[in-house]
Amino acid sequence: RHTRCLSDWSADVCSSDLNVHDKFFKALLSDRQIAIDWLRTFLPVEVATHLDLNTLTSASTSFVSQELQETFADAVFKCRLSETSKETYVSVLLEHKSYPDKFTAIQLLLYLAQAYAEQWKSRQHLEPVIPILFYQGKQKWEYLPLSALFSDFPEAFLVFLPDFSPLFIDLLRLDDDLLKSIRNSLLSSALLLQKYVRTPKVLLQKIHDIFSTLDPAGDRNLLPVFFVYFVEVSQIPPEKIEQLLAQLPTTIKSDFMNTYQLIIEKGIEKGIEKGIEEGIEKGEVNFVLKGYKNGLTLEQLVQITGWPEEKVADIIRKFQENARKES
């Protein structure tokens, strides 16, 4: 479970088993249509034309070894090639570091080696892995291929290097108009939010662009996740968020207000400031029950709390049993 350091809004996001930005991004890509739209936006045309994205499925696997866990998280998909039965892996690697690293090519080489080794060991028919490196750090980063690390050697030596070219996406350097042009409204808003989430003043200036295109009807499953991510990492003080609520488009104001109220009732702010873990636990149980009574699905509650599905389902099951006994 990750928590936001509400007592110090200028601080960075608290550490967690999975970086909060990666967790939000993986939640987005767990939606098949968003994953398809994301790839349609960022894959080069010459690659996308060879993929039948309508066949895209989650590979339900990860090629991140324990050695690379502090560097990458990944979302892995399988996709059929156009006009053939062959498939390929498409791996979106979420880069944990918030600064450029000239040795990332070596880390990617380890990742790809792990991916092919797993296929080989399981006696699978080998399928290519398309690595996509997604970066949202503040510093400008020009990705260096492996060969660039050996520029002081004769060119004749480069033939011995296992060089490759990942698709590198530097979110903060992408033009806003490109992100706004994405037809999937939630994906467009989420990418704009991720782009400006570390610059609160600019984020407030972009609020209308970020929230105005959200569609409560079409984005129902992931809207609570979107709102929770915004509150946790935006570094905007609670009083500013309350002012923001008054300015939101009417179509989403109610949904955001309900989610924000649930976050407050969750006991995060008081629980962290007092350091009372039992209070947090009790508050989150009450939060799950209130969310369930207000129509949130099991999947939505799991995404918002960060708890295992079994734990959330058990809370709901016990509530249902008690309700039957009382009736």
Q: What is the pLDDT of residues 86-134, one digit of tens each?
A: 999 999 998 877 778 899 999 999 999 999 999 999 877 889 999 999 9
- Residue 144 near residue 102 (C-beta atoms within 8 A): yes
In this model, does residue 291 exceed pLDDT 80? no
Distances (CA, A) of 145 to 95, 106, 109, 110: 16, 9, 10, 14
Which pair of structure tokens corresponds to residue 186? 């939630």
Model pTM? 0.73
The CA angle 163-166-167, to the nearest 5 degrees, is 155
The β-bridge relationship of strands 72-81 and 51-58 is antiparallel
Distances (CA, A) of 83 to 49, 50, 60, 116: 11, 8, 24, 24
What is the structure's pLDDT at 1? 30
Q: 201-256, pLDDT tens digit by residue?
A: 898 888 888 888 887 776 667 888 888 888 888 877 777 887 887 777 777 887 88
Q: Which of 237, 233, 257 is nearest to 245 (CA)?
A: 257
What is the structure's pLDDT at 60? 84
Proportion of the chain above pLDDT 70, given as a percent: 86
Count CA atoms closer than 13 A to 237's CA, side-chain side.
Answer: 5
